Structure 1
């Protein structure tokens, strides 16, 4: 993405900006005080500015209300930022000695310490772009190379803006001047906006990529319940926002977000530690500066929270101050973090260890570092006042091991190195090709003079740089950014009891390359820690989100009968096809087992025994009646119909056996027909017997002698045949049009599915039962009318009781049959058949057999006819 700028700003505007800069510089110097050390300088054909946070002690602000606010000078030299400074110096020395890059052009530098304070960074930037690098007062002006030759020439480019806040302030300030700013650590995604920050570039990747990388780690390791501790600024809030956007839809939730404010770090860290202790989240993401993390770890150690897995942002993942701290080993071993990519700079280590203040007497930064490291003052005529003893000249950095000399993992240092080379290639393009077409690097000709260099021209060429670094890395800008590259690191314990930094993977853009087997977690093992609000729902269950809680907090509900879930954390249970049913674990559908009332099971055996017993009892009664057929008891009760009734009862008992066993086509058709015809024959016999009794007593009345002619033996047999033929016709029509067929009853839930005779025509079955019911009701009414006829042994009473039992059984049968599941519906029907058959048999024939067998003296015509 190119930079849209005004190509030739008016001379008046340039002059106005220059005057404005000087006025603002004078004002800021009067209010902010002066820095103890102004900077490090080297003259050249082109001067590049540098801003670094060299000192670590935060400046105190005097507010005694008797004068304007005044920032005290920073003290205390930091080793790592000093290495950044010398990476810039080393890169410029390489370029100045190069025969292909900027041949014949010497680069110089003006480096200032901004002390992590945006006002001082802006003050230093003012002095650089204003053409006066000596800061505010002449007394504090540092010495440098060829100071007298610097003049008031403004710098065309600044490398600096260590934090996102400082970079935003400087970018907004420098935009009207078109002075490019290349930051080596500012990572806020907001700085990618070319409309707001057209002069900003960086060799540090945007935080979007590290937040997405951490989100990918959470998803990859199935950490669905994580806490977050962030800096209370754009860095922290933007990181957690991008993280939440990335995990959306991945069933990962943020349990809590705690913020840390630098001004209230102790109280904020205490609150965050208590929140971590109370939370069930075992994985904690931390997006903040390492000094804040150190305070947080101290607070966690005080309350003995040692079982959390921390995931680090690049701001503290490689901080040696942290992983070498004794508290860290107790609280935060096994940290996994995203780090600025590391690269080597050939010759840089040799360059550092050979530095000596005796060779650079004007270098105050190196002199201060030497005094701190060796406890002596190097011989220097420029700095006479010093309480330290003089150095003996044998001191050397070759045996020193600290952050300044450690070049094993160059991260921010390499970003500074890249920034210098990006600036050099932009200058090379500007000086070689005024038309914008880059010449090859081996050219020695120049098309422009260094005096023609302006920030605006350099800005246009900087946005188009595309080169290969001495390390073989392809480098170019995408707008303000470079292609994102990170290292994935892990804090692992050593046998000596210390923590060391181990490389476990890389991030290239949005691609995550991770060696999981190389990770040592906080438990000291390779077992990935678990951080969930609710344990995963196993197969056979489904997730039910708890009301009012995040989606990561849920209950596991067992799938209903007939439903399954065959994967972990299933949201829904799937219903099995009709032919299948869920297994006991609800994880698979298995074929349903056919079930029917068989002769081998207890219920089938019991019903069979009862039916056979009924057949035997009926046969015994039949034999008794046959042997005593000439006695008055048998003759008085219409022996022919009695024998027919016994035969029909035997058929009723036998037809119940057809209902037992595996239903087949013939049994389904025969059982209902046999049942309907047998009971119609039985009820028809009872109805005719009742009619005969009524007719016999009516014929005794005067004028009714001819009534019995209509109810003679032939008429009785004809009536029974007629009633039975009607049922036979109904059954034939039913079986022809829509016969019952054996079908599994899939509508009844369960693993066992009943194989039953499906009645497709409910009308046919209803007509069969209705006809039986009609005859039974008619018989009951007739028998009820004849119950008080004046015979000593009135059979109508017995028929009345038997039909009452018959009707009661079949009225109760209907709801029982409908509500009974599976094969038990068949058992209910068999029970109704047997109960009604036994009712008829016992009520009608038991009293008669009692008299015939046990009271033969009552089996006389006289007693039968007595009133």
Structure 2
């Protein structure tokens, strides 16, 4: 209600001094136009009155826009033959000078009042072309939308105007700011500018565009270091603008996005020049990036590089000739207008003839906008053609409702090889040119360096066409605009402060990697891979096992072969001399069982080579422990027998006889072996070992092993063998001073010590290392245990049988016993 009252008072204030008809051409249908022919003072006064637009400075851009309207109407009216778009119908126009926001409001009110304050009006309103600003477009879009009178703007790009619920009859030939924001985002991403300042003009165009861009920026990891609204230049806002420029300097950004109208940008950039800001990148919107109102500011060439978004350029042949030839026509129109009563003189008393005589230059920016006006007029004409059913060769002069034109204005057509149509929101499906400013001395020009297509979003930029600095000739010295430098590969980002673009680089720990920038977390290596700290890629883990063809394995296999050769050779020799005193004193047939068990224990080492298999895992530990238990049981029995005969016979005279008669030695060996066998079976049944890959021992290696090698079952197996070894060691140690021919106890004691030491060494190393060397050490411990027993118990007997055969007699053995007995007595 307040705004309506304001507009009513404004109209009343001006109505008292308004008269006449203004710049117009009569026709069957009238196209209204709103164009900025002057730049009026924007100062807002307390009274709702508006000065005459002519009091402002001339706007040459607006002059070209009016000429584009006249050019299109004249071309349509003068077309002949099959090319006649509206046969039998003529178009007229009436224009308003929207030199300010108040002027656009007044023009809207005057347009709506036409049918009521002039009863002699015969032409019917067809549509409104304009105005040039989003701020200026909202009022007519809302007012005319209520009557469904089409409005086609050539420069109003605010995204809110696409809302058909609020503005049902609004259309435009310039893309929506939604596409422009997308283009700006793509530019920032293309050059990796993530630390920016964002400025927007203090109007709906700038604020809506700034809001849309700031909302999307976070989705693309773009941080806005500083954001502010540029006010309209007045005496009270100058200090505010200076503070804005100082804040931009403090944030140390190199890229500034200025989403502003050309009028407000014109007031802001002098303060940038005043603060001597140079070598920055300014990204401009289509409204000011090509406007000479901004590029003509003295000293603006020093601010740095300007990259602008511009409506795509299309050649507009014949328009320049039309303007040159229209001087005489405008002279006649001005003479008519000077003698006519004008309804709104402050909007319609423009002397176009005087402006035409100034021969304003026609820049690309003017051509682009003028072509948008041209397309808008043709869109109205094509819609009327459909409404009036002109396809038959003559248009029907029937009653036309404004809503009908709005419906058919969406028709697709082609003009000057350009396809024109409006989508469901009233927007054209067109993209943008990307332009940069160039300077030769003080002469300004621009260069198209790329293009943006909105559907799907695609940006193409030719870097070689952009000159970032004075000495940059090929566009390679792209300025950086980042809060923190990119982290190298192998380092992740750790955010510092509230902006995610500000971070420290933290090294990725071992077993992780990072081969891209911008990530806040490191990637874990696959299970079969590893990496040191600060890595950008993972390495394959080393597989640890005991290959058959490794040098260490070959050495162990040679040792195994020698061990088997010794055990089998010894067994053959013992079998041949089974009835001799040496063999009988060593245990007789028990020696063959011992040698067989040692052979089996040696063969268990074959399960340690190559990649683990299920049979190997089942036999590797259990076969050795069972075989070695049988051997130890035999050695223990032999040690007990000797000690019992020579040491305990006087104390326990009948113990050994009872032990021997009841087959004590055989039962001890059998029971001990069966117990170990049952423990092994339970171990395999309850804790079945199987081939496995251990990834937890080393970060850079995979250990191929058998599972459950340290299970409770394995521990019981080892404990039983260990207790038997201790018992055997104790008995052999007690008999260390027996007769020479029966004195293998010393050798057995030494052999058992070697065996115990080798296994203690192995378990010590295994507790700190599970690599290939430890696997080889286990094989060595097995062979040392076998060789220890073989060397300590059997080889002295072999030596007697092969070298000292004279000692292998009954007499010699009896003599040794007698001497031992005499010594003890």
Query: What's the TM-score once normalised by structure 1's chain length?
Result: 0.68
Residue 111 (structure 1) aligns with: 95
- Are 1:706 and 2:654 counterparts? yes
- Are 1:287 and 2:268 counterparts? no
Distance 1:352 1:736, change over 3 A: closer
Contact 2:449–2:461, Cα closer than 8 Å, also in 1? yes
SS of aligned partner of 2:431: strand
In structure 1, stretches of 5+ residues that fail to align are: 1-19, 135-147, 368-381, 385-390, 620-633, 846-858
Relative to structure 2, which stretch is displaced further, 586-595 or 461-470? Answer: 586-595
Contact 2:258–2:283, Cα closer than 8 Å, also in 1? yes
SS of aligned partner of 1:769: helix
Contact 2:309–2:435, Cα closer than 8 Å, also in 1? no
Residue 180 (structure 2) aligns with: 210
Contact 2:412–2:420, Cα closer than 8 Å, also in 1? yes
Contact 1:738–1:760, Cα closer than 8 Å, also in 2? no
Distance 1:522 1:840, change over 3 A: farther
1:464 CA drift (Å):
0.4
Q: What does 1:342-381 correspond to in 2, within 5 Å?
A: 342-356=313-327, 360=331, 363=334
1:421 CA drift (Å):
2.7
Q: What does 1:102-501 correspond to in 2, within 5 Å?
A: 102-117=86-101, 119-131=102-114, 157-176=127-146, 179-219=149-189, 227-243=197-213, 251-256=220-225, 258-263=227-232, 266-267=238-239, 269-274=241-246, 276-277=248-249, 279=251, 283-293=255-265, 297=269, 306-323=278-295, 327-333=299-305, 335-356=306-327, 360=331, 363=334, 402-403=360-361, 405-406=362-363, 410-430=367-387, 433=388, 438-440=389-391, 442-443=393-394, 446-448=396-398, 457-465=401-409, 466=411, 468=413, 470-479=415-424, 481-491=426-436, 493=438, 500-501=445-446
Contact 2:560–2:783, Cα closer than 8 Å, also in 1? yes
Q: What does 1:848-859 correspond to in 2, within 5 Å?
A: none
Contact 2:147–2:402, Cα closer than 8 Å, also in 1? no
CA distance in structure 2 between the partners assigned to 1:831 and 1:150 by the alignment = 121
In structure 2, stretches of 5+ residues that fail to align are: 339-348, 570-581, 795-816
Contact 2:23–2:95, Cα closer than 8 Å, also in 1? yes
CA distance in structure 1 between the partners assigned to 2:822 and 2:624 by the alignment = 36
- Are 1:52 and 2:71 counterparts? no
Relative to structure 2, which stretch is displaced further, 95-104 or 542-551? Answer: 542-551
SS of aligned partner of 2:152: strand
Aligned length: 759
Q: What does 1:546-557 correspond to in 2, within 5 Å?
A: 546=495
1:674 CA drift (Å):
4.8
Residue 510 (structure 1) aligns with: 455
SS of aligned partner of 1:351: helix
1:440 CA drift (Å):
1.8
CA distance in structure 1 between the partners assigned to 2:738 and 2:538 by the alignment = 73
CA distance in structure 2 between the partners assigned to 1:715 and 1:822 by the alignment = 47
Render the CA deviation track for 1:375-400: whole Å, top value 9, x for unaligned.
xxxxxxx999xxxxxx9x9x966xx5
Contact 2:282–2:304, Cα closer than 8 Å, also in 1? yes
Contact 2:434–2:452, Cα closer than 8 Å, also in 1? no
1:289 CA drift (Å):
2.0
1:84 CA drift (Å):
1.1
1:363 CA drift (Å):
3.2
1:413 CA drift (Å):
1.4
CA distance in structure 2 between the partners assigned to 1:864 and 1:260 by the alignment = 121
Residue 91 (structure 1) aligns with: 72
Distance 1:253 1:661, change over 3 A: same
Contact 2:205–2:260, Cα closer than 8 Å, also in 1? yes
Relative to structure 2, which stretch is displaced further, 124-133 or 199-208? Answer: 124-133
Contact 2:541–2:701, Cα closer than 8 Å, also in 1? no
Residue 81 (structure 1) aligns with: 62
1:80 CA drift (Å):
0.7
1:802 CA drift (Å):
9.1
Q: What does 1:652-663 correspond to in 2, within 5 Å?
A: 662=610
1:488 CA drift (Å):
1.2
Render the CA deviation track for 1:756-791: whole Å, top value 9, x for unaligned.
56779968855653441241354477789x799999
Relative to structure 2, which stretch is displaced further, 773-782 or 809-818? Answer: 809-818
Residue 829 (structure 1) aligns with: 778
Distance 1:256 1:726, change over 3 A: same
Residue 17 (structure 1) aligns with: none
Render the CA deviation track for 1:523-574: whole Å, top value 9, x for unaligned.
34344666566667777x586674876666675764753x777777787746
Contact 2:314–2:368, Cα closer than 8 Å, also in 1? yes
How well do the aligned residues superpose, as a CA RMSD in angstroms? 6.1
Distance 1:706 1:47, change over 3 A: closer
1:341 CA drift (Å):
2.8
1:349 CA drift (Å):
0.5
Contact 1:43–1:109, Cα closer than 8 Å, also in 2? yes
CA distance in structure 2 between the partners assigned to 1:427 and 1:686 by the alignment = 120
Contact 2:608–2:616, Cα closer than 8 Å, also in 1? no
CA distance in structure 1 between the partners assigned to 2:282 and 2:97 by the alignment = 33
Render the CA deviation track for 1:577-619: whole Å, top value 9, x for unaligned.
65x7779966466585564278976899799999999x99xx9
Residue 574 (structure 2) aligns with: none
Relative to structure 2, which stretch is displaced further, 590-599 or 45-54? Answer: 590-599
Distance 1:308 1:71, change over 3 A: same
CA distance in structure 2 between the partners assigned to 1:327 and 1:230 by the alignment = 22
SS of aligned partner of 2:38: coil
Contact 2:6–2:48, Cα closer than 8 Å, also in 1? no
Distance 1:365 1:337, change over 3 A: farther
1:30 CA drift (Å):
2.2
Query: What's the TM-score once normalised by structure 2's chain length?
Result: 0.71
CA distance in structure 2 between the partners assigned to 1:295 and 1:26 by the alignment = 30
CA distance in structure 2 between the partners assigned to 1:80 and 1:133 by the alignment = 33
Contact 2:601–2:623, Cα closer than 8 Å, also in 1? no
SS of aligned partner of 1:440: helix
1:191 CA drift (Å):
1.8
SS of aligned partner of 1:502: strand
Contact 2:201–2:207, Cα closer than 8 Å, also in 1? yes
Q: What does 1:673-752 correspond to in 2, within 5 Å?
A: 673-674=623-624, 676-678=626-628, 680-682=630-632, 684-686=634-636, 688-690=638-640, 692-693=642-643, 696-701=646-651, 704-710=652-658, 718=666, 722=670, 726=674, 745=693, 747=695, 749=698
